[in-house]
Amino acid sequence: MPFPLTGRRTGAAALSVALLATLAACGSDDGNDSAAPDTELTVLAASSLTDVFATAGAAYEKEHPGTEVTFSFAGSQELAAQVRQGAPADALVTADTRTMDGLSADTGKPTVIARNRLVIATGRGNPEKVLGLADLADPALKVVLAAPEVPVGRYGRQVLDAQGIDVKPVSQEPNVRAVLSKIELGEADAGLVYRTDAAATGKVDAIDIPDAQNAIASYPAATLKSSGDAGAAAAFVSWLSTPEAQRILQAAGFQKP
């Protein structure tokens, strides 16, 4: 008689396990934050987008439940090198069209999502009384610029050369955030950065450059052909041109595309 009894106990145990599994499944559908996302996107983005993309990424995830967006920020030239080396990513946003155009074999058709302008950044209170571009030629002034291969560095040189201003920087940095850091730490008196970065840090003063002397930076976005989810990558790039994304970009000081 033990065999039928054992069989009943085994059946009851199996039923209990099944019920518990069903309950656990229901519980995970009821807001378990530890559940893995359905879609994971990696976006390579220019350093000057660091702050605004934190906001934009959160907004995108809210509008697209089950999608998680991870950003990797660096100078556009570094991002281009990563793409050429096959870094796993889904989309790319650079701070200039030249860098993006050089990656045409690796990307989909790019779309400009925003524009930006340069300002002169100084320490808080502008202790050296910098008034304009011409002041940057003062040999007593410690000026820091981005390296010429970096978009903001190239824009800066373009602006200075157009005005015939010879600046000998104390250092040339790999991205705009590194330029700002030198000024914030007092290691430099002034530098050329994007207007949005100067505003975001809140730790420097910004001297406007007249439009006639300034340069406009364009930010193109494109999918990467190596993406493991081309549809999701395209959806994110398209979203960057929507009214919601544009509202976020312009609230951060970026100009319309």
Domain residue limits, the chain:
39-115+217-251, 116-216
Q: Is 159 helix (H, G, I), strand (E, B) or coil?
A: helix
Query: What is the mean pLDDT of the segment spanning 157-172?
Result: 97
Query: What is the mean pLDDT of the segment spanning 91-107?
Result: 97
How many other C-beta atoms are found inside a 10 Å radius of the C-beta of residue 195? 21
> What pTM does this model have?
0.83
How many other C-beta atoms are found inside a 10 Å radius of the C-beta of residue 67? 19
Closest CA to 185 of 171, 203, 198: 203
What single string gives the DSSP state of each residue in 105-138?
Answer: TTB---EEEEEEEEEEEEETT-TT---SGGGGG-
Query: What is the mean pLDDT of the segment spanning 178-184?
Result: 96
* Topology (CATH) of 116-216: D-Maltodextrin-Binding Protein; domain 2 (3.40.190)
> Given phi > 0 = left and psi -120 to 50 = alpha, else beta, which region is 252?
alpha
Per-residue pLDDT of 193-236, as tens digits, reads 999 999 998 899 999 999 999 999 999 999 999 999 999 999 99
Query: What is the mean pLDDT of the segment spanning 77-98?
Result: 97
pLDDT: which is higher, 36 or 67: 67
CA distances from 189 to 33, 107, 145, 170, 184 (A): 46, 39, 11, 10, 9
211 burial via Cβ count (<10 Å: 0-12, 13-18, 19+): exposed
pLDDT, position 162: 97
Closest CA to 142 of 178, 174, 172: 172
Q: Could you tell me which residues are beta bridge partners of residue 191?
A: 121, 144
Same-fold call for 39-115+217-251 versus 116-216: yes
User: Around 61, how many Cα atoms within 13 Å sit in the side-chain half-sphere?
Assistant: 18
Domain 39-115+217-251 in CATH 3.40.190.10: yes
Per-residue pLDDT of 119-145, as tens digits, reads 999 999 999 999 999 999 999 999 999
CA 86 – CA 230 distance, rounded (Å): 16
CB 155 within 8 A of CB 75: no
